[in-house]
């Protein structure tokens, strides 16, 4: 059965990459699931070379792996992977928050505050919509890294973000996220106030503890 993608000005490769990324992050394509080029090519009505390029892009994002003689598959996350991703995220987000507090422009900080207020409104008006709340949570964290001033850090963060996002999206579906926006208030306030040390501390405090991540496996 062919799947229709929304046509846009993006290249076919970019559209295919985005489509497959979304299917992995929302759990439609499960962690560890085998991906067959020919089947995806037929499903998406795209050439195998386009599908192959999309899969290669997802390899660089940490969402897909290519194994010799076995082909492509969605990344699978074991306990050692989880430990590594957690500690890398802890380090990167703490530093990014401190850098954002010091270096982000007034306009960037105002944009961060506006996003946070939208996050609060979502939690207040739709407290049961875990998928939308989770997406907004990731968006806020990505925005902080985006305004920290380091393109290299943004690149590294994506390689951590996407596998964790896939894992947490599947394993934390039943969590109560209705108060998650409020737990970020001190973080956003510190960044906007230029308080780097508090921003770093609050960023680390807002990351789900490793023990809780492991317990959800």
- At 217 the pLDDT is 55
Instruction: Report pLDDT for 40.
Output: 95
Residue-level pLDDT at 161: 86
Q: Which two tokens stand for residue 123?
A: 């939690």
Sheet strands (E) in 44-192: 64-67, 71-74
Read off the tokens for 14: 């970019």
Q: Which of 166, 173, 96, 181 is nearest to 136 (CA)?
A: 181
How far does the chain reach from its first CA to its final CA, in angstroms?
A: 32
Grouping H, G, I as helix, E, B as strand and the rest as coil, residue 89 is helix
Provide the pLDDT for residue 3.
Answer: 61
Q: What is the pLDDT along the chain (217 residues), one digit of tens a residue?
A: 556 555 455 789 999 999 999 999 888 899 999 999 999 999 999 999 999 999 999 998 889 999 888 899 999 888 888 889 889 999 999 999 999 999 999 999 999 999 999 999 999 999 998 888 988 999 999 999 999 999 999 988 988 888 888 887 665 555 678 888 999 999 999 999 999 999 999 999 988 776 666 665 5
The reported pLDDT for the residue numbered 7 is 47
| DSSP secondary structure code for residue 148 in this structure | S
Using an 8 Å Cβ cutoff, are 160 and 85 in contact? yes
């Amino acid at each position: 059965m062919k799947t229709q993608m929304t046509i846009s000005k993006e290249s076919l490769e970019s559209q295919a990459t985005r489509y497959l990324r979304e299917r992995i992050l929302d759990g439609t394509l499960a962690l560890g699931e085998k991906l067959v080029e020919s089947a995806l090519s037929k499903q998406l009505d795209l050439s195998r070379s386009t599908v192959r390029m999309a899969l290669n892009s997802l390899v660089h994002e940490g969402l897909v792996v290519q194994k010799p003689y076995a082909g492509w598959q969605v990344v699978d996350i074991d306990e050692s992977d989880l430990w590594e991703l957690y500690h890398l995220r802890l380090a990167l987000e703490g530093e990014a928050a401190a850098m954002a507090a010091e270096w982000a422009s007034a306009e960037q900080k105002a944009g961060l505050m506006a996003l946070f207020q939208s996050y609060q409104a979502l939690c207040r008006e739709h407290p049961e919509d875990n998928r939308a709340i989770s997406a907004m949570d990731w968006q806020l964290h990505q925005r902080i890294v985006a305004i920290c001033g380091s393109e290299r850090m943004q690149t590294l963060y994506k390689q951590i973000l996407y596998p964790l996002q896939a894992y947490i999206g599947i394993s934390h579906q039943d969590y109560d996220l209705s108060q998650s926006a409020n737990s970020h208030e001190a973080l956003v306030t510190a960044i906007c106030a230029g308080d780097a040390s508090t921003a770093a501390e609050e960023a680390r405090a807002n990351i789900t503890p490793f023990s809780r991540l492991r317990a959800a496996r």
